[in-house]
Amino acid sequence: MEKGRIAIPSMEQGGLDGKRAGHFGHCDTFTLVDVKDGVIEKISTIANQDHVQGGCMVPVNLLAENQVNALIVGGIGMRPLMGFRQAGIDVYHDDQRQEIRPVVEDLISGRLAMIADNQVCGGGGGQ
């Protein structure tokens, strides 16, 4: 990824040296990483909004409003995935690492694949 804004579901305060949340809808915050010319330019965070019943589109809208181009998840349901696709936000999958920095570096260097439909969660709980 040469240019854009990456969002990573994060635990607690987030940040580049923070820990990832297992499922985007239940994270505390989103770490936002701005990339320019393949280099990390800026790090910021935004609080996740309440994830109420039927509200799985709330984080989709929040990230779209914050000009996110790419999202890295460990898990996501089909409904929000379709929302991200409609919003033009590419969703990448990595369920192996807990740290934020390495998955961001993997995405920038082209080592992460976009999530496939068969990797989608059933929804309704867990992280």
User: Where are the chain's structural domains?
Assistant: 55-113
Asked if pLDDT for residue 24 goes beyond 80, the answer is no
User: Residue 124: its pLDDT value, please?
Assistant: 47
pLDDT tens digits for range 71-126: 999 988 888 899 999 999 999 999 899 999 999 999 999 999 999 888 887 654 44
The class level of CATH for 55-113 reads alpha beta
pTM check: above 0.95? no
User: Residue 103: its pLDDT value, please?
Assistant: 96
Give the dihedral sign, CA 3/110/102/94: positive
pLDDT tens digits for range 29-78: 999 999 999 999 999 999 998 766 556 778 899 999 999 999 999 988 88
What long-range pairs does 24-31 form, CB within 8 A, spacing at least 24? 24/59, 24/71, 24/73, 24/75, 24/76, 24/80, 25/51, 25/56, 25/59, 25/76, 25/77, 25/80, 26/51, 26/126, 26/127, 30/59, 30/62, 30/63, 30/66, 31/7, 31/100
